[in-house]
Amino acid sequence: MQLLIDEQFLPAATELVKQACHHIYIATFKAEITAKPRGRQLKKFFDAVAEQSRLGVDTRLILNRVSKMGSVPITNLYVIKELPKQGIPIHCLPYNRISHAKLLIVDEFAAIVGSHNLSVKSCHSNFEVSCLTKDPYVVGQLRGIFEQMWENTKEA
């Protein structure tokens, strides 16, 4: 297990995504795509995800949809609009249930779980800690959890 503190997260996550051959599963509370200077690394991450999807890697994202209930980041709207154009399906939990999990699962070999959202503030300003694991048992468990949640979601 490797701890990813603060700005260590995005480079590690991007490298994992680039190594994907079969699937990339992502769950996050907040996602943000921006070309502003502080968001360039985050854009590189999403560009890598989109490239792997174009290459045939099964890519899925569980994200929160903005609703009248509030408490969901407005940046999710842009992501929900843009990523499906690149062939990346986005699903949301039903009944205004919030996905607060932060997961990145790549194939059968690696997963990151922790506090990092896919947002500029999370990756550059906040104190965040996530764990990268390559333990096959843990990765398998996380993949099973993701797949079960995916089955209980609706297209965004």
Per-residue pLDDT band at 34 (split at 50, 70, 90): confident
In a 13 Å sphere around the CA of 153, the CA atoms on its Cβ side amount to 22
Q: How far is CA 122 from CA 30, 47, 68, 138, in A?
A: 9, 18, 24, 24
Instruction: Tell me what pLDDT residue 138 has.
Output: 97
Instruction: Tell me what pLDDT residue 121 has.
Output: 87
Domains and CATH numbers, the chain: 2-155 (3.30.870.10)
Task: Report the DSSP pairing between strands 129-133 and 110-114.
Answer: antiparallel
In a 13 Å sphere around the CA of 73, the CA atoms on its Cβ side amount to 20
pLDDT per residue over 45-101, tens digit each?
Answer: 999 999 999 999 999 999 987 666 666 778 888 898 999 999 999 998 887 778 889
Instruction: Tell me what pLDDT residue 70 has.
Output: 61
pTM (two decimals): 0.93
Q: What is the mean pLDDT of the segment spanning 1-30?
A: 95
- Nearest partner of 49 among 78, 14, 11, judged by Cα: 14
Per-residue pLDDT band at 128 (split at 50, 70, 90): very high
